[in-house]
Amino acid sequence: MTLSAAPRISCEVLETRADVARIFNIQRYSLNDGRGIRTVVFFKGCPHRCPWCANPESLSPHIHTVRRESKCLHCAPCLRDANECPSGAFENIGRDVTLDALVQEVMKDDVFFRASGGGVTLSGGEVLMQAPFAARFLARLRQLGVHTAMETAGDAPLSRLLPVANQCDEVLFDLKIMDARQAKLVLNLNLPRVLANFRHLAASGICVIPRIPLIPGYTLSQENLQRVLAFLQPTGVTVLHLLPFHAYGEPKYRLLGRDWAMKGIPAPSADEVGALRQRAEQAGFQVTVGG
Ligand code: SF4
């Protein structure tokens, strides 16, 4: 069983409810998505199409079913009804969860948050597609004393971004292809809007942390980095996270029956990453590799 290609959708189009979210994963004990030990909630739906996306199951805003070939017994019942599968080969990607239930679920990890200075990070997909829920959810967590963060590409109207960002102690803000035409063509991303949003958050005093995925053939270049640095310098932001490409998402493409556009492309070498790091540090940035 395979998925059909996810439709291109925009943040503006998706109607969301403020008390129910559609998520596809909750990852506990994460160390790479904000400070301390984090619980990361992955929201479903993304308007972008990064060829290197490590979460292809996030792209469609719909709940869908996949079949794990390794578990399939190739028996007759599933031809009639996936619910009759005796081996549990069918798996739903995505579920709807209420605000109260999600708060209860993540607060199970409160002891780790308090011991490590960690908290909850919203990721995706693009969480701004479910902005009304995200803002309410984060506000509830803050009332409970939990540190809050989100990962975003920042490509939404400010009226959608700001209520969520205002509830975040940290906004992990991706800066990818820095050429507007290529960003639109390759990622379906409105770069001028992204940059204007970043500037606005930084000027508002919100803690915004720029992150560059270092992707061979797309963003892994001195030229792209230089554009990022030139953009950041007037904003007063002096930290920068570099996220080297990895192929951990490849098996998910197989599961979904999709082509992996990055097939055979190796991760950047330590020298390549080191050279970019050095350039950013020489420009006065405090650089973290891995985020
Ligand atoms: S913005 Fe993130 S979730 Fe969306 S396609 Fe790009 S990498 Fe994947």
Cα of 207 vs centre of ligand 1, distance in Å, is: 22
CA trace torsion 197, 30, 61, 220 (10° rounding): 60
Please write the tens of the pLDDT for every residue from 196-221. 999 999 999 999 999 999 999 999 99
pLDDT category at 85 given cuts 50, 70, 90 is confident
Please write the tens of the pLDDT for every residue from 88-117. 888 889 999 999 999 999 999 999 999 999
Give the DSSP letter of residue 26: E
* String of DSSP letters for 148-200: EEEEE---S-HHHHHHHHTT-SEEEEE-----HHHIIIII---HHHHHHHHHH
At residue 5, does pLDDT exceed 80? no
pLDDT at residue number 69: 82
Ligand 1 pocket: which of 25, 43, 53 to mutate (most atoms within 8 A of CB)? 53
**Reduced to 3 states, what is the DSSP secondary structure of residue 15?**
coil
Q: Is the CB of 55 under 6 A from ligand 1?
A: yes
Cα of 114 vs centre of ligand 1, distance in Å, is: 30
Q: Is the CB of 58 under 6 A from ligand 1?
A: yes
Q: CA distances (Å), 198 to each of 173, 193, 220, in order?
A: 8, 9, 21
Ligand 1 pocket: which of 11, 40, 42, 46 to mutate (most atoms within 8 A of CB)? 46
Q: For residue 7, which phi and psi values (nearest 5 degrees)?
A: -70, 150
The Cα–Cα gap between 249 and 43 comes to 17
Q: Which atom of ligand 1 is nearest to the CA of 189?
A: 1
Q: Where are the domains of the chain?
A: 20-289
At residue 189, does pLDDT exceed 80? yes
Please write the tens of the pLDDT for every residue from 21-77. 999 999 999 998 889 999 999 999 999 999 999 999 999 999 888 888 888 888 877
Cα of 230 vs centre of ligand 1, distance in Å, is: 24
Cα of 245 vs centre of ligand 1, distance in Å, is: 13
Q: Is the CB of 183 under 6 A from ligand 1?
A: no
Cα of 32 vs centre of ligand 1, distance in Å, is: 17
User: What architecture (CATH level 2) is domain 20-289?
Assistant: Alpha-Beta Barrel (3.20)
The Cα–Cα gap between 43 and 238 comes to 29
